[in-house]
Every structure is written in structure tokens, then in C-alpha cells.
Structure 1
């Protein structure tokens, strides 16, 4: 059974060429025309591989790649771009892309690279980290499939955005997220100066988790930057 692939490309002509070619190869294709739409689709469906252009409206390809990596650290990502400088290629690979194909491209080469990356991915654990239960000391358990959070075996009521913030940070422990990155990833929009949305949601989360801002067990403020999750993991199932 062939894989479902995600193509994020704002040029309809190029997207159609890739889509038609890969569908002939037996793949199921989803096409997104903006970075924001691509992130929404990635969260909604299960994909085997993602192909991303760099110059995208609403959210550029580099930012999209980074956001996808926060959700799934293993899925193959191929950047397909007209940008051919070594600097762009290095930047793409550093933020998590597995490969970089320059336009104009050979469809035969694209097929070969897609199949090669899928073979590697099939050999790894395909379970997305977004579906793994996370268990931490101090009694915190996060169950993504049920969108459930418990503290010392008592469920606490969190909003959807609060849950998504907690899940993202808990799945990327000790990674410092800026408020702008959190807002862009969770609200899928560009942060504006004076927007306290993230701050307010973190404050509410801390109160519900009974987590002190001065001596936190879970969410630590990184002054001048943002926040990071410091909970001590016990195991994941």
C-alpha cells in the first residue's frame, strides 16, 4: 500500500506536475498552497513524507519545516525550491529537512528520492510522538489521544489551546520556545507586538497544574525569551 504524501507549494502549475506524477507512481497526495494550510493538514492527517517549497505565503517553508519537526522528529521532509545557494541548503538541513531538491527538477530524481526516504522511514518506529502518553514525576500525565491531563490521578480541565501548548512543550523537553514561536505554532498566525495571548494561557496552565512560576516543576520561564518544559519524564507508552 502506497503512502500519503503532503506537497506544500504555492505555484499551482508546479504542484500539479508533482501531484500528477506521484499519483501515477501510486501515492496518495494532499496539496496545500500556503504554509499555514500545510501545517493544518499535517496536524489533521497521517503522512509518510512532506515536500515543502521555501517561498510560501502566510508561513515560509523554513518555519513550516521547524513546526513539523516539533510534532514529528522522524518523518522525511524534502525541500523543493528555486533557491540554489549553499546558505539556503544548509539552513534547510539544519532546521530539520532531510533533503533539498532545486527547481527545475527531474521527476525521475524526485521519485527516487521520495522512495529512498520512505524506505528509511518504514524501518523506523512510525508512531507519531503526538499520540504517545507522557508520564512525568510530580504526578503529571498527558494523554494526547484523549486530550486528557491528570495530576496525581485527578483530571484537570484544560482548554484546547492550553492542551496544545502543554503537549508541544512536553514533547520537546528543555527546548526554549519564544512566545512568538508558540503563538505561530498553536494559533497558526503571526504574533503581533503587545499580544499577551501566550502569556495568559501559560499563566492559566500553571494555575491548573499548581506549578509555581518561581520554583516550577513543569513550565519554566526563560527571561527575555519565552518558556521551556522541565518536567522529569518517567516513561512514555
Structure 2
């Protein structure tokens, strides 16, 4: 397993790589965050170590990596002058697996690397990628280019349920159970209302592509790559 390090200086990078190598890890250094992102994507078992001077930078890097579908372990070492519980929680919410103040003692650095390896890959934070936007389950925001839209709680549960299992067609009963959990359930036709509202918000964000497919007679299914929606012309019956 490789440890890939991005640090603000070669000296810090070499120190972290030397520590990791002393514990038997292979290492590599990537100067720029985008290079580290690409390297991690190509090496899904690698661990990304990000030495950051400020919390805003670390949070943005972690968020961007997760949005780029990087599922590797991310270990952030944040400058001690910037480290506090608020900064650490922000970076963790943006996708880091561990955040510690830096500089860090070699023994603790190695111990935390090994603990992260035992824990396995990152799976806590959910980003749902669509053709023209990304939904962040932690914030409830759908963002694409310069546009943002916040999903209502029921819309968020609907999208999350569908997206977590795109191969499954969910019946209205399935979706009712996920949204309401069997408590104070309205009539099932409310699902059609939620789907309509969700589609309305996502169509523009996805440049006219729909990501919620109606499977007639069965329910709804998530289409991550989107499709051209076909609206049937309804002919009103004569009175």
C-alpha cells in the first residue's frame, strides 16, 4: 500500500514520506492537489496525506476530491496554529478520514496510518454525481457551475434512496418506507409530487437531462448519466 503525500514544501514532504517508509509503506510525493487527486484515483488502495497550512484549504481539497469520486483514505495534517475542534469538524464533514495537528510525532503518525488502514476505505460522506451537478448529502445543496439549489428533506431522502441503488426500481411503497419510516404516512400519491418537485430542480441543473426515470407500473429508478425526458401529450377528454 502506498502513502501519497502533498505538502507545502519538499522538506515536509520528505519527512512524512520517510516516516511512512520506516513503517513499511511505499510512498510518493505530489506537489499539487490536482496531481494528488489524479494519483489517488489511479491507485484506489493508496492513502492520501494532505499537509495543510489552513483549514479552508484542507476543507476545499477534501470536498473536491470526494466530488471527483476519490474514495481513498484522506489523512489531513493541519498546522497547529489553525487546529481546533471547529476546523477539524469542518474538514471531516468535507470528506477527511482523520485530522490531526501538525507537526505530528512520527510514532503517532505511523500509528494513525495503520489505524486508518485497518478501518478501510472512506464511506461516510455522500456525494451524488449527476451529469451537470453534484448533490452534497451533508449540506443538502445541489451545485453545478454557478448554480445552487437546496433540496427539501423529503426530496433529499428520495434522491439519496434512489441514487444509493441505481440498479433497483423502487416502488412507491419502498419510497414511502424510506422517507417516512412507517410513521404518519400520507397517501402514496405524495411520492409523485416529490418526484415532480425533484425533477423540476434537477432538470435545469443537469442541462435538461432527467436522472429520475419512471418505470411504468413499477416505480422510479435513478439514472446517473441522465436521459432526455419524454413528456407525453395528454389529450383532454371531451365533456
After TM superposition, the score normalised by the length of structure 2 is 0.52
2:27 to 20, 24, 29: 29
Instruction: Look at both structures and tell me which one has the larger radius of gyration over its CA atoms.
Output: 2
Structure-1 separation of matches of 2:199 and 2:99: 41
User: What is aligned with 1:98?
Assistant: 97
Q: 2:204 aligned with 1:221, yes or no?
A: yes
Q: Is the contact made by 1:9 and 1:53 (CA closer than 8 Å) also made in structure 2?
A: yes
Q: CA RMSD, aligned part only?
A: 4.3
The total of aligned residue pairs comes to 161
Q: 2:43 aligned with 1:45, yes or no?
A: yes
Structure-1 separation of matches of 2:8 and 2:90: 20
1:81 to 74, 78, 103: 78
1:68 to 60, 65, 80: 65
Quote how far apart the aligned CAs of 1:51 are.
Answer: 1.2
Equivalences for residues 161-180 of structure 1 within 5 A: 166=131, 169=134, 176-179=142-145
Quote how far apart the aligned CAs of 1:7 are.
Answer: 1.2
Structure-2 separation of matches of 1:235 and 1:219: 12
Structure-1 separation of matches of 2:71 and 2:97: 9
Quote how far apart the aligned CAs of 1:85 are.
Answer: 2.5
Instruction: Please list the CA deviations of residues 146-166 of structure 1 after superposition, one character each: whole Å capped at 9, or x if unmatched.
Output: xxxxxxxxxxxxxxxxxx973
Instruction: Please list the CA deviations of residues 155-193 of structure 1 after superposition, one character each: whole Å capped at 9, or x if unmatched.
Output: xxxxxxxxx9739859x9x96123159xxxxxxxxxxxx
Structure-1 separation of matches of 2:28 and 2:208: 34
Structure-1 separation of matches of 2:67 and 2:204: 19
Unaligned runs of 5+ in 2: 124-128, 148-197, 213-219, 225-239
Unaligned runs of 5+ in 1: 126-163, 182-214
Quote how far apart the aligned CAs of 1:79 are.
Answer: 0.8
Quote how far apart the aligned CAs of 1:230 are.
Answer: 3.2
Q: Cα distance 1:36–1:48, how it changes in 2: closer, same or farther (>3 A)?
A: closer
Q: Is the contact made by 1:35 and 1:60 (CA closer than 8 Å) also made in structure 2?
A: no
Q: Secondary structure at the match of 1:220?
A: helix
Structure-1 separation of matches of 2:40 and 2:141: 21
Structure-2 separation of matches of 1:55 and 1:81: 6
Quote how far apart the aligned CAs of 1:63 are.
Answer: 1.6
Q: Cα distance 1:120–1:227, how it changes in 2: closer, same or farther (>3 A)?
A: farther
Q: 2:85 aligned with 1:120, yes or no?
A: no
Q: Is the contact made by 2:3 and 2:27 (CA closer than 8 Å) also made in structure 1?
A: yes
Structure-2 separation of matches of 1:5 and 1:217: 43
Quote how far apart the aligned CAs of 1:18 are.
Answer: 0.7
Structure-2 separation of matches of 1:219 and 1:116: 39
